Each structure stands twice: as structure tokens, then as C-alpha cells.
């Protein structure tokens, strides 16, 4: 089906969730559980995906499909710039604390998946200012914005469906990030 037709069918509209809610979480979990092609997460800290239930799904899925997780490098100058924008109470403001907590847990996660033998999990650190975070799961992209003085969790989460121009834009964005930017494998830090 062409994008034009899908756009029309969807009345050029997109649903969204606002901030952290049970429904958004349930929606995310249901997408993750049913993922059959690919999973990519792009975020500032990606701390959200470290909860026990999500970690277990990632471990299971890493044996079946490619998973990429992109996290802002703890020492990046863009990280400092980003935290200028974020409210003071934003978590992981301190780079060392962030490294000792989130990065360490992600390294453990990678280790656990790799130990199983067929892991397709790749975790990278990037070095540019993110203006949005996203979850790309098969045919859906959930986008949240890193607005001024706002945490990503304060943003609406737009739910974009494949077959629309706006989905293609964000899909191209994430593909371009994976292909054209310098990404450091988390093992190298």
C-alpha cells in the first residue's frame, strides 16, 4: 500500500501517549513481546529498558532477531549540553554515576546475551545531541522528543505506523544514525 493511501486511511493522524503511563508501558511490552523482525532503541540513557521484565524480553529476543540499543556516551560534550536543557532533577546527571550504574548494567546484559551463543544484541554509544528518542519495533516507531527543559519522559510519545511519511522520516533518521555516525560498541568503554 502506498504511503499516500495509508496516510489517507489514517487521516494523517497519529495516536500518542503522554509521559509515563501504564497504557504506554503495556503497549510497549506488547510490541516487544511480539517483535519478529528488529528492535532498535535510541535514547539519552535508555535506563528505562533495564527493568527486570524488559531485560528478560531483550535476552530472549536477542536470540531471535537483531536488537540495537544506542545510548549517549557518558563523556560526550553533547551530554553536558543536553543536561543544560534538562531539569536539574533529571537522573544520571553525573557522568560517573551513570557509567557505574546504567553502562555497567548494559555491559552485563550484553555479556549475558553473548553467553547464550546466538546473540544479535548490539549496544553502542553515540556522540551527538539527540533531539528525540525512539523505539523502533518491526512496523511501529514510538518517538519521544527531547524538548527544552523537558525530560524525554515528559514528552508525548507518538506512535507511528509503517506506510506513513512520518514513519519513513524517523526510520530514515535511525538508519542514518546507525550507518553514518560513529558509534562505539559498549564493550570498548
Partner 1 sequence: MGVDKTSGTFLLSLGSAILAIGLVTLVSEFITSTKILKIMRLYGDYIQHGILRIFSSRDDPEYKEIRSAKLKQASHIKILTLVGREFIESEDKIETTKQKIQEAVEFKFLILKPDSSHWEIQYQDFEPQDLDVIGNAKREEIKNNFETLKAFVQDLKSEKKELRYYDRKPVFQIEIFDQIMFIAFYGLRSRAKYSPVIMFEERSGSRVFEYFMGQFNEYWQRGKLDE
Chain residues binding partner 1 by CB under 8 A are 3, 7, 12-18, 23, 27, 81-82, 84-85, 128-129, 131-132, 145-150, 154-156, 164-166, 169, 173, 176-177, 180-181
Residues 31 and 49: beta-carbon distance below 8 Å: no
- Minimum CB separation of residue 51 from partner 1 in Å reads 20
Taking the least distance from each CB to partner 1, the nearer of 82 and 110 is 82
Residues with Cβ within 8 Å of residue 70, at least 6 apart in sequence = 40, 41, 42, 43, 46, 123, 124, 125, 126, 177, 178, 183
Sign of CA dihedral 176, 152, 189, 29: negative
- Supply the DSSP symbol for 172: H
Taking the least distance from each CB to partner 1, the nearer of 29 and 116 is 29
Rounded Cα–Cα distance for residues 182 and 189 (Å): 14
- Supply the DSSP symbol for 118: -
Taking the least distance from each CB to partner 1, the nearer of 17 and 92 is 17
Taking the least distance from each CB to partner 1, the nearer of 92 and 146 is 146
- Minimum CB separation of residue 152 from partner 1 in Å reads 11
Taking the least distance from each CB to partner 1, the nearer of 94 and 181 is 181
- Minimum CB separation of residue 12 from partner 1 in Å reads 5
- Minimum CB separation of residue 170 from partner 1 in Å reads 8
- Minimum CB separation of residue 88 from partner 1 in Å reads 15
Let me know how many helices (H) and strands (E) the chain has, helices first: 7, 8
Amino acid at each position: 500500500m502506498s504511503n499516500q493511501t495509508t496516510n489517507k486511511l489514517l487521516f494523517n493522524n497519529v495516536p500518542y501517549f503522554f509521559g509515563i503511563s501504564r497504557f504506554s508501558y503495556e503497549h510497549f511490552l506488547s510490541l516487544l513481546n511480539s517483535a519478529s523482525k528488529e528492535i532498535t532503541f535510541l535514547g539519552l540513557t535508555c535506563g528505562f529498558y533495564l527493568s527486570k521484565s524488559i531485560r528478560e524480553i531483550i535476552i530472549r529476543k536477542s536470540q531471535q532477531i537483531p536488537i540495537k540499543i544506542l545510548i549517549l556516551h557518558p563523556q560526550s560534550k553533547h551530554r553536558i549540553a543536553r543536561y543544560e536543557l534538562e531539569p536539574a532533577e533529571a537522573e544520571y546527571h553525573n557522568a560517573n554515576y551513570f557509567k557505574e550504574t546504567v553502562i555497567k548494567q548494559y555491559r552485563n546484559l550484553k555479556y549475558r546475551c553473548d553467553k547464550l551463543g546466538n546473540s544479535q544484541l548490539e549496544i553502542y554509544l553515540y556522540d551527538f545531541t539527540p533531539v528525540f528518542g525512539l523505539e523502533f519495533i518491526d512496523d511501529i516507531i514510538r518517538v519521544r522528543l527531547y524538548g527544552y527543559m523537558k525530560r524525554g519522559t515528559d514528552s508525548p510519545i507518538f506512535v507511528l505506523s509503517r506506510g506513513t511519511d512520518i514513519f519513513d522520516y524517523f526510520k530514515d533518521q535511525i538508519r542514518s544514525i546507525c550507518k553514518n555516525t560513529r558509534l562505539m560498541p559498549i564493550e570498548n568503554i
